[in-house]
Chain A
Amino acid sequence: MMTKRFFEGGLDRRIQLLLVVLVAAAVVVPVLNLAVPPTSSFHIPTHAVALMGKYLCYAMLALSLDLVWGYCGILSLGHGAFFALGGYAMGMYLMRQIGPRGVYGHPVLPDFMVFLNWKELPWYWYGFDQFWFAALMVMVAPGLLAFAFGWLAFRSRVTGVYLSIITQAMTYALLLAFFRNDMGFGGNNGLTDFKDILGFSLQAPATRAALFSATALVLALAVIVTARLVSSKYGKLMVAVRDAESRTRFLGWRPENIKLIAFTISAVMAGIAGALYVPQVGIINPSEFAPANSIEIVIWTAVGGRGTIMGPVIGAIAVNWAKSWFTAALPEVWLFALGALFVAVTLFLPKGLVGVWEQWSAARKARTKRASPTVPPEKTTATEPAASAARPAPVAAPLMGVEPKPAE
């Protein structure tokens, strides 16, 4: 019953549109990939399906960051760590699925362990031959880390730039740890050479199409959960903490608990995104923990528009599409372009692409109102058109009406 109440309402027209697009993509893309012959111009090649699937994973990652940054004012520069942990949990399952088909043919041990002369499976690899256990760990590992980290940081009232720095340090520490061979996660090379998932070959186009559909549907679910969360009373408290933390505290709320819930939910969401990402790209290695990756997530979110649901989804897809194009066409320019993009967005588009679109549509509405106050004369009395023309057009959704303040 609580779940039912949770899912009622909170979805405005634009979010409904986004959901329709995602569900349609989950159906149409596999059909165009599998059922339409490659000679047709409607055919979507398998590598494009994998690429789009990757973008949607990034979109979910950006959405998870937006939940804590855009709505709760916690600028995490370490969200890549949660994504990577989810990815590793999925990677461990995929490694165990290889079974005796590895290069060394060991019935249980993954290749890298045989190579390192290990005799038996470390205890923390137990259970990962079961999909349900791996799926649970995909959420538990990042969730637990976020909970422990957040519990310590928020209780000690670490905020603003100091919090950003320690999140960055956290992902860097994990990067160094996962590089070590004796951690038991494949060291530098990470986990790769996956064969199948739930018994289906990862190389088969049908499996890849199914993974894409699953990603689109899970992203749709994440959008619903986020939208409901931010429109609940809890969501209003998140914004309250973002804008006036001490006011919230002196009203008797506990900002540290509000932040902790958001941070943990966000980390779980990032972990799920990572788990969907790994089977589609076929590898997970420590470079996913690199601080630069986490900073890129911030850029996607800023470009799309933080503090909105659409923004991070659009931003992640747009920036990564540009990245794919640039790194193929002008590889040496990409990093400069990314830097320039971030500077430009910060200076000229503080509300991101969604903010621009909102401004533009508000201006257009105002224009049409001004242009046609007397068009349907029989419908209105003499005074009404003037009144409706005088009323200012709504500038933006409530949350966008005011520039979200950066964490102090």
Chain B
Amino acid sequence: MAPAEPLTNTILYLDGVSVSFDGFRAINNLSLTLDKGEMRAIIGPNGAGKTTMMDLITGKTRPDKGEIYFDGAHDLTRYDEAEIANLGIGRKFQKPTVFECHTVEDNIALSLKGPRGAFRTIFDRRSASEPSRIDEILAIIRLTDRRDELAANLSHGQKQWLEIGMLLAQEPKLLLIDEPVAGMTDAETEETARLLRDIATRHSVIVVEHDMHFVRELGVKVTCLHEGSVLAEGSIDHVSQDPRVIEVYLGR
């Protein structure tokens, strides 16, 4: 059972989580909590354990020790990827991953929340509410006029937005977004910041990002990871003035 009282307003709770690969401690006694409706930016140098942390939350990797609870009662270490996705955690990969051979619309349609039995999809027909849901999401990610285009023909930035749209279609409670602006132009980066701030009004979000300018634009609480545990936490100004943070980013 999850510790009941302190978690009432917590969507994600990691306590003392460690995991090693071949003797290398990727995550080392990591503790982190995220409130419902909160957006958090995670920063940290390469190898700080940011992506491994996402793997732990989404069930791709199992922790050696420690607890991970989602939405109060769900012990995430007991579920696999598909089950965790259906509990309400959406994950965007570092490299934009969409279904390139499908249209933008089909990408969203395949992601819409609904029964996930494989067999029944053979006879599945689109439900009445689907088109309006798809319209809504396409409007949010600003791809309405490209709905019939193959996802392969989208630009890099548009693929990132499409993938975020696919997460929204899942109607998750928590979104994990890994480096959304890597390889984007300045205009696309700004657009993405707007999109994420908009999403954060209705969802809990964790954004992993390298780009400090973008993190500043999000204007949210920042957690800096280093060697698999939390180095500093607070506002972007507070964290970026922390001498230890400056050292891991610039020093050595």
Residue positions of B touching A, CB distance < 8 A: 58, 81-82, 85-86, 90-91, 93, 97-103, 106, 109-111, 116-119, 121-125, 150, 152, 163, 166, 170
Contact = CB atoms under 8 A, between A and B. Distances in A.
A47 interface: no
A233 B101 contact: no
Interface in A258-288: 258, 260-261
Interface string A4-38: 01100000000000000000000000000000000
Nearest to B88: A252
Given A2-B123, A240-B99, A247-B166, 6 more contacts: A251-B166, A257-B119, A260-B118, A261-B122, A398-B102, A402-B150
Interface string A366-408: 0000000000000000000000000000000011011010000
A254 B81 CA distance: 9
Interface string A215-246: 00000000000000100111011011011101
Interface of A: 2, 5-6, 229, 232-234, 236-237, 239-240, 242-244, 246-254, 257-258, 260-261, 398-399, 401-402, 404
Given A251-B111, A402-B101, A6 B91 contact: no
B152 A244 contact: no
B133 to A, nearest CB: 15
A244 B125 CA distance: 23
Contact of B122 (A229, A249, A401): A229
Among A240, A244, A251: residue with most chain B CB under 10 A:
A251
B82 A232 contact: no
Nearest to A2: B123
A261 B100 CA distance: 23
Nearest to B87: A252
B101 A243 contact: yes
B110 A251 contact: yes
A-B interface, 10 closest residue pairs, ranked by CB to CB distance from nearest: A252-B85, A257-B118, A234-B121, A233-B124, A233-B121, A234-B122, A252-B86, A247-B97, A402-B152, A240-B99
Contact of A247 (B99, B106, B118, B121): B99
Nearest to A258: B118
19 contacts: A5-B125, A233-B109, A233-B110, A244-B98, A244-B99, A247-B98, A247-B166, A248-B110, A250-B90, A250-B93, A252-B170, A254-B82, A254-B116, A261-B122, A399-B101, A401-B152, A402-B100, A402-B152, A404-B101
Contacts of B121: 232-234, 237
